[in-house]
Amino acid sequence: MTRRGAGPDFQTSFQSVLRPHDTAFEGVPEIQVHRPSDRASHLVLPLSSLRDEVFYRPVCAGDYSALKAAHLKAFPIDYDEAFYERAIAQDSGISSWAAVQKDRQSGQEELIGFITAQYLRLHECDPTDRAAMGLGSTLVNGQEVVYILTLGVAEAARRRGTAGQLLRLVLAAAEARGCRACFLHVICYNHAAISFYLAHSFDQLAELRDFYCIVSGRQPDPDRAQYNAYLCARHLREEGDLSAMAYISSALFPFRSLMDSWGQASGQQLAGIVAASS
Ligand SMILES: CC(C)(COP(=O)(O)OP(=O)(O)OC[C@H]1O[C@@H](n2cnc3c(N)ncnc32)[C@H](O)[C@@H]1OP(=O)(O)O)[C@@H](O)C(=O)NCCC(=O)NCCS
């Protein structure tokens, strides 16, 4: 669960990360893709999920109200409109998936779970998180990690593996992109979520004091706003396998700014020439 406010959270990250649209299906080869009218497409997990009629697909515009209601139920934090808009648009490095259950009689879809995650370069992450994950070196500044912003399953649908499937979708895509790690913050009293992440090979790396400031009134003690968080992470590539490409890219890092400034300078020159000739 991300927090609102300062740090490597959703709002800060959104402002700082503006990347082209990611293909939500990248790195998820085991899933059949159906292409109905919706831009997001319907994805069907083949075996077990078909039995339960649970479908996994990218979050789309039609999910707006259900997604918001589900967040309100699942978390003590109030997320703002920008959060939902970006989770739906799947831009700014955001990847979000929905688990939907189809009513056998009416054929109506009900959102029973969701995951929202964001790809970040390590230099965009909080130094405390980086250090705890063992990814503090400036050599890996340009490498990507994936941050789980929110994950939730409707109470009635829990303990059926839905969150596990949603997490696997994010991990598969992150692995395909070459992300170094997947990480998240979880509030200290959320034992279900902590057990869930430990069961999925995440390590509980650090306890961050007063990480959350909750004033929604939905926290366990309405008179208390500050809560600690645990940083949990799972490495997706071994610490030692800083590849030749990463070395080359880090070695080029100082020259990149030189090339950028050359690009800007020549752009300015060009602008000057155009202005002079018009
Ligand atoms: C945490 C949460 C997402 C788990 O969803 P879920 O669909 O029930 O999880 P899964 O069925 O995939 O669980 C997989 C494993 O996680 C662990 N786990 C999940 N819920 C647990 C619980 N309440 N107590 C102990 N272990 C739990 C178990 O090891 C479980 O395997 P098992 O059922 O075979 O024992 C769900 O409880 C939830 O939505 N909570 C509210 C929102 C939240 O806290 N989100 C996480 C904060 S980032």
pLDDT at 52: 54
* pLDDT confidence tier of residue 105, bands split at 50, 70 and 90: confident
Q: Which of 116, 166, 188, 196 to mutate to test the pocket of ligand 1 (most atoms within 8 A of CB)?
A: 196
pLDDT at 87: 96
Q: Which of 147, 159, 183 to mutate to test the pocket of ligand 1 (most atoms within 8 A of CB)?
A: 159
Q: Could you give the CA distance from residue 265 to residue 252 in angstroms, rounded to a whole number?
A: 19
Atom of ligand 1 nearest to the CA of 199: 29
pLDDT at residue 268 above 90? Answer: no
Q: What's the gap in Å between 254 CA and the centre of ligand 1?
A: 44
pLDDT at 211: 97
Atom of ligand 1 nearest to the CA of 148: 48
pLDDT at 101: 95
How does pLDDT run across 48-94, given as a tens digit for each residue?
444 458 999 999 999 999 999 999 999 999 999 999 999 999 988 99
Q: Which of 2, 75, 158 to mutate to test the pocket of ligand 1 (most atoms within 8 A of CB)?
A: 158
Q: Could you give the CA distance from residue 146 to residue 95 in angstroms, rounded to a whole number?
A: 10
Q: Are 194 and 186 in contact (CB under 8 A)?
A: yes
**Alpha-carbon separation of residue 100 from 41, 52, 153, 275 (angstroms):** 13, 10, 10, 56
pLDDT at 7: 34
Instruction: Kindly report whether the global pTM for this prediction surpasses the value 0.75.
Output: yes
How does pLDDT run across 110-125, given as a tens digit for each residue?
999 999 999 999 999 9
State mean pLDDT over 202-219: 96
Q: What's the gap in Å between 229 CA and the centre of ligand 1?
A: 17
Atom of ligand 1 nearest to the CA of 153: 39
Higher pLDDT, 29 or 17: 29
Query: 């340009």: which residue's tokens?
Result: 142
Q: Are 236 and 175 in contact (CB under 8 A)?
A: yes
pLDDT at 11: 33
State mean pLDDT over 22-35: 38
Query: 């997604």: which residue's tokens?
Result: 67
